Structure formats: structure tokens, C-alpha cells
Amino acid sequence: MSQGCSDAGLCTAGSMKDNGVSDEKWRIGLNSQYGQGDQKVNIYTQQLEISRRFSEKLLVQVKMPWINTSGNLGTNQGIGDVVLTGNYKHTVSDKLQYSFNLGFRIPTGKTGAGDIDVLPNPGRPTSLPMPYQTGLGTFDVLTGMDIRYRSVWQFALGFQLPLIQNNINNFNPSNAGAVPNASGYFYSDNLKRKADIVARIERKFELNESIALFANIIPIYHVGDDEYSDFNGKKLVYQQSSGLTLNTGTGMIVELSKSSVMRLSFAAPVITRKERPDGLTRHFVAGLEWHYKIFH
């Protein structure tokens, strides 16, 4: 959710994103992002990131987001879904290393927040659409690997599979048709989300010992059409909700000191799926991160 690349969390999990990770024992990070979702919903994310290195090869990372959303149907805020990742790194040479990631997206966020009174049944509220929600309502397993060459090239590939589906969102634009602006949002009543395949190709350009620019492309393929329930509770397939999202990003990494790193980033999609009921679409995302490294 609001990970900066219109995905469900995988593209920034563990070593799938280059944070300039060295051999520190602990790393504490603060990540602040602003993104614009469907129907120009404003999505602000403040995220605490903690990494613990247990050996030269093994690292565990946890990400805990707090999310604020606002748009033409209302506002919402709360804790997002926690992402826990383990990373195993193997160094082949001083020019080449590869890593494996295994993690989980834990449904600590909400999917049924907000009340919209609908007609012709006033008093029977429907929840806000998924772009306003702080979670996805699924327990996901995340797997992936990445290869880094000469510390400037990164190639990553991962798979995210929802194992448990418990999305309680009941937004139905037909039911909420009398509410102004409601018709512009996707159905998400009893949404069942399919898996994603995510890749990342990133190139870093080192300007000097402490400043580097980077550029990346992140294709995300949604492998199947999602499912939802109509007004009568009948399960339907969300046609054309599978397919490719292609994100591009750029930014800067600044090493403020041996123990402190700052990262600025901007990302936007150039290709999106036609139907996107999960609320993960971002027209753009701008972010600022700060990481503090503890070596003892």
C-alpha cells in the first residue's frame, strides 16, 4: 500500500529496493511519501523502518506505515499493513552479489473504514472506496531475488501471493449512485485480489563519494482478474483487472555521514491496468527518506 510504485509492497521489500545498505548491525529509517491515487485521492504515508543484521549474510527488516487519505468522498487515517522481510545476501566478488528475500504482508490496516449513507437505503452505510483504506485485507507471502553488479546496477524479480483474503470493504458505486462523485470509483465489495510479479531494473550514477543519482523501471504484472460481489452478493470476475503496470522512477541518494543516509525519489506509471479495484494506483509518488545506521 502506497509503496511508491503502485504495487502491494513487494517492490520495496528487503533488498528489492537499494537503500545503500552496508554492514551496519541496526538501521532505523523514516520514510515520508505523498502520492495521488484514483480520483485524485491524496495519500500521505509516514513509515518507520527497522532493519537488524544478524550476520554478514542475514538481515531482517520490518516496515510499519501510518497512512492519511483524503478526497471527494471523505477522509481516513490509521496504521497500514506491516511488511516483515528476511534477506539472505551472498557476495560472489567485489563486483557481484545476489540476495534472496522472503517476507510477509500482515493485514494490520483497515479495509472497511468510513461510512457513506446511500440511497434508496439511507442509514445503510457503505465503506469508503479502496483508495481511502489503509490496508488490503490480505495476508501475503513475498519472495524475490536481486543481483547487483559493480554497486551501480540492480536487477530484481519477485512474486507476491495473497494466502488469506479478508477484505471487508463493501463499496459499490451502483448502491452509492446517489452520492456525488461515487460513480468514479471501482467496485470493491468483498474484493479478492490476485498475485503480482514484480521486477526492478535500476542504474545508479555516482557523482562523488557521497552523492548518487538513480533511475529505474519497475514492471508489475497482475497475474489474474480480481473478484468482487455485486449488490445481490453474487461473485463476479473483474474483467481486465489483470495485466501490466509499468512504473518509472528517479531520485538522489545522499550520504550525510558514515551513519546517516537520505534518499529523495519521484515515481509515476507510464502504463496502467484498465481496471484497478485494489486502490493501489498512484498517478505519482514523491518521497523523502532518512536512514540512521548503527554499527555496534
| Domains of the chain and any CATH numbers | 10-294 (2.40.160.40)
DSSP per-residue string spanning 217-245: EEEEEE-S--EEE-TTS-EEE-TT--EEE
Mean pLDDT of 164-184: 83
Mean pLDDT for the chain overall: 89
44 has pLDDT over 80: yes
Nearest to 238 by CA among 273, 197, 282: 273
CB 9 within 8 A of CB 140: yes
Confidence at 177, pLDDT banded by 50, 70, 90: low
Greater confidence (293 vs 7) lies with 293
What are the CA-CA distances from residue 28 to residues 2, 75, 104, 286 (Å)?
20, 29, 20, 20
Greater confidence (72 vs 229) lies with 72
Tens-digit pLDDT profile for residues 107-123: 999 999 987 765 555 55
d(CA 244, CA 250): 20
Task: Look at 114-128, 194-208, 273-287 and tell me which has the smallest mean pLDDT.
Answer: 114-128
Which residues, other chains included, contact 93 with Cβ-Cβ below 8 Å and sequence gap of 6+? none
* φ, ψ at 46 (rounded to 5°): -115, 120
Residue with grid cell 509516514, as numbered in its chain: 46
Confidence at 19, pLDDT banded by 50, 70, 90: low
What are the CA-CA distances from residue 152 to residues 23, 128, 148, 205 (Å)?
17, 42, 7, 7
